[in-house]
Amino acid sequence: MRDLFADDEHALPRRENITAGAVLMRGVALGVEDELLAALAAVAQDAPFRHMTTPGGVMSVAMTNCGAGGWVSDRSGYRYDSTDPETGKPWPDMPQVFRRLAIEAAADGGYDTFVPDACLINRYLPGARLSLHQDRNERDMACPIVSVSLGLPASFQFGGPKRIDPIRKYLLRHGDVAVWGGPSRLCYHGISTLKAGDHPKIGPMRINLTFRRAL
């Protein structure tokens, strides 16, 4: 992988088709990064990051949510809920800069009717990872997933609709956005173990905003 902070803007293509229905667009969130980070801080103040429990154990990635519904997990499984189980309050409203970026990125990726109602926010510290999985708890599978990367670089694993399908890896850097839907909507994907580093705007972590039409 190349360094996130390399000056060579041409090291990677600005747009890369991952597979049918899936595209990686590099740097598209940079124009609103300060707004994104300010909005993120406000969301995290109202609904702090936490390590959720899954049927398989405690996740290494810390999470929170904003929007009409939030992704939650416990020993019984996964689901979307309008209420934060830790505070008993509704999840914070989705910031307008979040919503606008997700809608515009989805349209650029070929999904011009997408309007998210949920944003799952993941915080990775060095050593954290997200194992291969499918996003299949959403009610409307016709809508895509929009994933915005902030902070430290990460290796994005993207496979096929079966866990045994070959995996391809893509470098995600600060400001990159991946969109997948249609024939790629249920492709397995994940994030390899995050390497140590220090991003000038985020610090020693990676933040991922994942937008869905969940309810």
In DSSP terms, 123 is beta-bridged to 62, 207
Q: Residue 175, SS3?
A: coil
Give the span between the Cα atoms of 174 and 150, in whole angstroms.
Answer: 4
Give the span between the Cα atoms of 211 and 215, in whole angstroms.
Answer: 12
Q: Which CATH number does 15-212 carry?
A: 2.60.120.590
The structure's pTM equals 0.93
Q: pLDDT tens digits for 16-59?
A: 999 999 999 999 999 999 999 999 999 999 999 999 998 888 99
- For residues 179 and 111, the answer to whether their CB atoms sit within 8 Å is yes
